[in-house]
Structure 1
Amino acid sequence: MTGDTTIIIGGGPAGLFCALQAAGDGRRVIVLEKKRSCGRKLLLAGSGQCNLTHDGEITDFFSHYGEHGAFLRPALLNFTNRNLIAFFEEHGLGMRAEPGGKVFPASRRSSDILAVLQRECERQGVGIRCSEPVHHVAREDGDFIVQSDANTMRADTLVIATGGASYPITGSSGDGYTLAGQLRHTITEIAPALAAVYIREYPFTDLAGISFSDLSIALFRGGKKIRQHTGDLLLTHTGLSGPGILDLSRYIRPGDQLKVAFLPGMNQDAIRSTVTATIAANGNRLVKTALAELPLPERFAKKLVELAEIPPDLNGANLSKKARSTLITSVAEYPFTVENLAGFDEAMVTRGGVSLAEINPKTMESRLVPHLYCIGEVLDIDGDTGGYNLQAAFSTAALAARRISGR
C-alpha cells in the first residue's frame, strides 16, 4: 500500500463521511472498523430515530459546545446544518425539522442515515474493513504504520475517528485516545457527558417520570455558584435527567450541589414572593390545596409539603414560620447534592479527549504530526442535546476531507 493512501480508523458517522468526501482522484481510502458492522452508535442516536442536527442559523450553534464553540467555528461554517440536510436530501433521504428545532430523517430511522453513508462510500470506492480493530500506530519515514489484528499497513495520511468512550458496547470505548497518545498527542481528562445525575439521599424516587419545562438550575461547588442554566428537567428513580441536566452535566462533579427553581420564568426572589402570596391568599385552605394554585404537578406539590413535615390537615393560616420558610425554599431553590454521574454505558457522549491545542481548527490536522487528523468525538468536544454532537462529527469530517483531498 503506497502512494495516496488514507486510512481512517473508525466506521462511525465522522469516519464514513470523511471517507466518502476524501475519496476519488486516484486516492485510496480505507476505513478500519473494530466491530462487525459500521455505525453501531449512530443507530442508537435519538432512540433510533437519529436527531441529525438542529434547525436555525449555524452561528447559533457556537454556544452549544461549552467553552469549545470557538474551536468548531471554522468546521461549522465550512459545512453547516444546511449543508448536512442538503447532502442527505440530495441522496434521497428527506429531512424534517420538529418543533423546538431538532432535525430528523423524515423516516425517523437512524438506519436510513447509515445506509446513505455506506452506499456513498461504496460508490466512491472506499474500502471498508470491519472486524479489524487497530492496536498500534506509528510514524516511520513520513508514513503511518497501522497495525490491526489482521494486517500491518502503511499510509501517507491517517484519520482517527474512533469516537469517545460512551456506549462502549457499540465499539466506542476510548481506543482513539490510546492511538492519538502513541503519536504524542495529549489527552485531556475524559468523563461521561450528556449524563443523568445520581443524587445523594434522593427524596423523589416515587415521582419518577414527572417533568418540568424551562427551569433555572444553579450549580454550586464549595458553596460558590459556578454555573447557571435553564432547561427542561426530569425526575428519575435515582436523580435528575432531562435536557437541562444533560447539557449542564459536562460541568458537574461528584459532591457538587444543584439548586433548582421549580417555577419557570422566575428568579428566586420572584418565586419566594409568589409562593408567600399564594399561601397568604389561601389561609383558610389546606397548605397542599393552596399549592395547587401554583404551576406545579400535584403529586410533586404534595411531596414538598410532606418533606417540609407539614401535617396534611394544616391550613395556611396556621403554618409556622419555619415550615413556611422550608416550603418556600423547596420551590425556589431546592438543593440536591450530587452523588455521581451516570457512567459511560449510559452517557450519550464523552467529555474530554484529544487536546484542541494540538489540532488546527481550520483543517483538523495535527499540529504535532503532519497528515494526521482527528475528527468527531475523539476530540475534546461535547455538545448539547439536540443534534449538536452529530453536526460536529460531520462538520469536522468534512473539513478534514477537504484538506486531505485538496479540493
Structure 2
Amino acid sequence: MTEPHPDERPQSLAELVPALPKVLLHDHLDGGVRPATIVELAAQIGHELPATDPDELGRWFVDAASAGTLELYLETFAHTVAVMQTADALRRVARECALDLAADGVVYAEVRFAPEQHVEQGLSLQEVVDAVRAGFDEGAAQAREEGHPIRVLAILCAMRHLDRWQEVADLAIANRDEGVVAFDLAGPEDGFPASRCPEVFDSLRAAHLPCTLHAGEAAGLDSIADAVAEGALRLGHGVRLADDLGADELGDRLGLLAHWVRDRRLALEVCPSSNVQTGGATSVAEHPVTRLLRLGFAVTVNTDNRLQSGTSLGRELTLLVEEAGWTLEDLEDVAVTAAAHAFVHHDERAALIDTVIRPAYAAARGGRHRA
C-alpha cells in the first residue's frame, strides 16, 4: 500500500496549534524575559545570577518557580526586575516580548507590568511606561515586517503589598490614549484584598477605565468576591472559583458567586501551567479550566509568566489538547472569548474576531486533521 505524501497526511490538532491565531490577555513583562537577555543585562550591571549559561538559567527559573507556592514563585522575579531598571533595558525587553509573542502566533496581546518595580535607578513611573510602550511598538512593527502581525497593549499593575495603588491607577488613566488599556493588582494576593483601597476603584470607574484583578489564585472565594465587588471586569486566574462548584444526583450545582461570574460573563484569565506550579492544580489534565469551560464560563487561556513556566500560549493550548482532550471548537471558543473581552473598543474586538480568528478556524475545519 502506497504511503500518502507527507503534505497529504491529515494533521493532528496539536500540529495545527502553532498556525492558529491566538489572543493573550494575561502575560507579565518581567515574567517573559529571554534568558540570554537576562545574562547580557546582568553582566552589564554586575548582578549575580544563579547561572550564566542561558539554557541553564532558563531551566533554573522553571525549577525555582515550581516549588509549589505563589510566594516562592514570586521570588524568582528578583533577577528579572534587577535587569529592568533603565529605559534602554525596558525598551529591549518589551521589544523582544512583542517579537516572541508574534512568533508564537499571538495576534493581540495585553501585557502587564508594575511601573513601581522599575524605578530603582531613577526612572519616573511615566518614563517606565514610555520605555515599555516604545519597545512594544518597535517589536510589533518588526513583527509585521516579518509577516507576523500583532498588536500589543499594556496593563499597569500596582503591587498589592505596597502603597502606590492610586498613583498607578492615575498613571493608567493618564496613559489611556498611549496604549494603556487597564489597571490591575499584582503580587501577594492573600491578605491584601482589593477593598483595602476602594477609592482607587471609584476613580477608575469615574474615568471609565477597566480593571482586571488577580483573584482566586493564591486566595479563595473571598478574594474573588472582593474583586468582583470592586468592579473587576476580568479575573486574573480565578481558578479557585471551582471551590464554588458542586455536584449532586441532578448534575452540576453552582454557588451564588459562580453564578454571578458566569451570568455576567466576567472573563477568567486562566494560566494552566502556572497554576500547576503554584499548587492551584495538580496537573493540566485535572485543571478546573476544562470543567469551567464546559459549564459555560467565559474562559480564556494565558501564559502568566513564560520564563518561569517555560511556556508559550501555543504550548498551553497544546497541553490542553493532549492532556485534557480539548477540541478545535474549544480552542476557537477561548480565542473568541479572549478577543471579545479585550480592553479595546467593540468595533476593534469584532474586527479581530470576524476577520482574523473566525476565518482561520474555518480554514482549519475545512482542512484535514485528526483528533
TM-score normalised by the shorter chain: which range applies? Answer: under 0.3
Task: Please report the TM-score for the alignment, with normalisation by the length of structure 2.
Answer: 0.26
- Highest relative contact order (Cα 8 Å, sep 6+), 1 or 2? 1
Task: Please report the TM-score for the alignment, with normalisation by the length of structure 1.
Answer: 0.24
Q: Which protein is bigger by CA-based radius of gyration?
A: 1
